[in-house]
Amino acid sequence: MSSAPEIQGHPVEPLLDARGNLIEMITVCAECGQARTILFLTRDRWYCSSCRASGAAPPKLYPVA
Amino acid sequence: MAEIFPNEGLDLIYGIVPKGATGPANTWLGLFTAFTASTVGTSAAVIASWSEVSVAGAYVRQTIASSSWGTVGTTQSGRGSGAAQVTFATATAVWGTANGFIVASGATGGAGVVWFGANFDDTTAVVINTNDVIKVTPTWVYTG
């Protein structure tokens, strides 16, 4: 089972058991929102292979006054 | 994307239903490097056939508790379910190119019986380099 801490505000979707009870929240790709078999962590966001490779993964940067 | 219950995995399942053996409390998730991003082993495949990632660089199989499997639903090819995500430890060396995952009978990498093997759902091979951190969501599909 997952041992990583949850990232606040990261996109997730529920994984339910047969009775509809929540097992855990599944992390989905932070860019496309799809649940994928494999995700990569880049800084504080998880990305699927496609979004990671296409350049979506780099974090958005803002100027600091 | 391809997936298979190799013969040795089917033999274990057969032992449980209809033969009545006790099912396992856990299975274990591993990554394989053999085959391609859209193909898996044959029915005759055994653990050596899959070329699992070597137990080095912090790679170890991850436990999947039987209680962590979710609702069974209809998929494109049968009835399937996904388990809770597992997060591997940060790679401390290059793990190589993974083409998918296996669900195995034991915690020891490169050993035991493979129940089920499948490519990643986006049929993309992934190179796992030093310092990479990955999450994998195991799935399991019975075709009718």
Q: Residue B124 CB: number of other CB atoms within 10 A?
A: 19
pLDDT digits (tens, 9 = 90+) for A9-21: 899 999 888 888 8
Mean pLDDT of the residues in chain B: 95
pLDDT band at A5 (very low <50, low <70, confident <90, very high): low
Nearest to B70 among A23, A38, A40 (CB): A23
**pLDDT > 60? residue A57:** no
Q: Distance between CA atoms of A15 and A9, rounded to whole angstroms? A: 17
Q: pTM of the predicted model, to two decimals? A: 0.89
Determine the pLDDT at residue A61.
58
* Residues of chain A contacting B, Cβ within 8 Å: 1-4, 15-18, 20, 23-24, 26-27, 35-41, 46, 48-50
Inter-residue contact B27 to B113 (CB < 8 Å) = no
Contacts of A16 in chain B (CB under 8 A): 70-71
**pLDDT > 60? residue A1:** no
Determine the pLDDT at residue A2.
47
Determine the pLDDT at residue A53.
80
CA A27 and chain centroid, separation: 4
In order of A12, B21, B68, B71, B120, the CA distances from A17 in angstroms are 16, 24, 8, 5, 23
What interface predicted TM-score (ipTM) does this complex get? 0.91
pLDDT band at A4 (very low <50, low <70, confident <90, very high): low
DSSP string, chain A: ---SPPPTT--EEEEE-TTS-EEEEEE--TTT----SEEEEETTEEE-HHHHHTT--SPP-----
Distance from CA of A1 to the nearest CA of B (A): 5
**pLDDT > 70? residue A59:** no
